C-alpha cells in the first residue's frame, strides 16, 4: 500500500472512530433521559403518605440549608446574599448523590457564566448584541467542557452580569455572585450529608 493510501486509511479509521464515539454518546444520552423519565413515573405512583413524608423532609431540609446559607451573608454585609439561599434550595436533594451532581452543575455554571460575562462586559461593554453573544459562548463553553447540565446557570449568571443594574465595580459583583453560589453549594452539600448520615444511623427511610 502506498503512503497516500495508508494516510487515507488512517483518516477513514479516525473518522469511523469519531462517528462511533458520537453515536455511543447519543445513545447514552437517550438512555439517561429514558431512565430519568422512568424515575419520574415511579415517584408519581408512590402512595400519598410516602409523597407527603418525602416532600416534607425535602422542604424542611431545603429551608434549613437556605437559612444557614443566607445568614452569614448578612453578617458580612453582602447585599445580594439571597443568591446563596437560592443556590442552597436549588442544590438540596433528598439523595446525596443527586445533590453532589446538582452542586457541581451550579458552581460550574456560575463560574463559567461569571468569567465569560465579566470578560465580555470589560472588553465590549453592556449591550444587547454583547449579551446575546455572551449567553451563546457561556452555554457553548459548558458543552465543550462536558458539563452541558450547567449551561442554564451559566446563561443566567451571564444575564445577571450584563443586564441587571448593579452598584460598584462589575468585577466585585461577578466575584460576589460566584462566592455566594459556592457558599450555597457547600451549605446544601453539608446539610444533605448530615441528614443522610442521621437517617442511616437511626434507620429512617423517606
Q: Are residues 79 and 180 in the same domain?
A: yes
Q: Are residues 77 and 145 in the same domain?
A: yes
- Looking at the predicted structure, is the pLDDT value of residue 206 above 60? no
**Collapsing DSSP states into helix, strand and coil, what is residue 189?**
helix
Q: Are residues 74 and 28 in the same domain?
A: no
Q: Are residues 89 and 168 in the same domain?
A: yes
Mean pLDDT of 99-106: 87
Q: Are residues 40 and 130 in the same domain?
A: no
Query: pTM of this prediction?
Result: 0.70
Q: How far apart are CA 51 and CA 57, in angstroms?
A: 10
Confidence of residue 204 (pLDDT cuts 50, 70, 90): low
Residue 148 near residue 29 (C-beta atoms within 8 A): no
The closest alpha carbon to 88, from 72, 75, 79, 165, belongs to: 72
pLDDT at residue number 62: 93
Q: Are residues 166 and 146 in the same domain?
A: yes
Q: Are residues 168 and 100 in the same domain?
A: yes
Confidence of residue 48 (pLDDT cuts 50, 70, 90): confident
How large a percentage of the chain has pLDDT more than 70? 80
Q: Are residues 64 and 163 in the same domain?
A: yes
Q: How far apart are CA 158 and CA 78, in angstroms?
A: 20
The total number of structural domains that make up the chain: 2
Q: How far apart are CA 70 and CA 76, in angstroms?
A: 10
Confidence of residue 39 (pLDDT cuts 50, 70, 90): low
> For residues 37 and 109, which has the higher predicted lDDT (pLDDT)?
109
- Looking at the predicted structure, is the pLDDT value of residue 188 above 90? yes
Q: How far apart are CA 17 and CA 13, in angstroms?
A: 6
Residue 68 near residue 191 (C-beta atoms within 8 A): yes
Q: Are residues 149 and 190 in the same domain?
A: yes
Q: Which domain range does residue 85 map to?
A: 48-202
Amino acid at each position: 500500500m502506498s503512503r497516500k493510501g495508508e494516510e487515507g486509511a488512517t483518516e477513514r479509521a479516525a473518522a469511523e472512530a469519531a462517528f462511533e464515539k458520537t453515536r455511543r454518546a447519543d445513545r447514552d444520552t437517550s438512555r439517561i433521559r429514558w431512565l430519568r423519565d422512568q424515575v419520574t413515573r415511579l415517584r408519581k405512583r408512590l402512595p400519598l403518605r410516602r409523597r407527603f413524608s418525602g416532600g416534607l423532609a425535602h422542604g424542611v431540609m431545603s429551608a434549613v440549608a437556605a437559612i444557614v446559607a443566607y445568614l452569614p451573608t448578612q453578617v458580612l454585609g453582602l447585599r445580594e446574599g439571597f443568591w446563596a439561599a437560592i443556590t442552597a434550595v436549588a442544590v438540596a436533594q433528598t439523595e446525596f448523590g443527586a445533590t453532589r451532581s446538582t452542586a457541581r452543575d451550579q458552581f460550574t455554571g456560575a463560574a463559567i457564566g461569571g468569567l465569560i460575562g465579566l470578560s465580555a462586559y470589560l472588553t465590549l461593554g453592556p449591550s444587547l448584541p454583547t449579551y446575546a453573544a455572551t449567553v451563546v459562548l457561556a452555554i457553548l463553553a459548558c458543552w465543550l467542557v462536558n458539563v452541558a447540565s450547567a449551561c442554564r446557570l451559566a446563561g443566567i449568571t451571564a444575564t445577571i452580569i450584563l443586564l441587571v443594574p448593579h452598584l460598584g465595580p462589575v468585577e466585585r459583583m461577578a466575584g460576589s455572585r460566584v462566592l455566594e453560589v459556592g457558599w450555597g453549594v457547600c451549605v446544601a452539600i453539608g446539610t444533605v450529608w448530615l441528614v443522610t448520615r442521621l437517617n442511616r444511623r437511626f434507620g429512617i427511610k423517606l
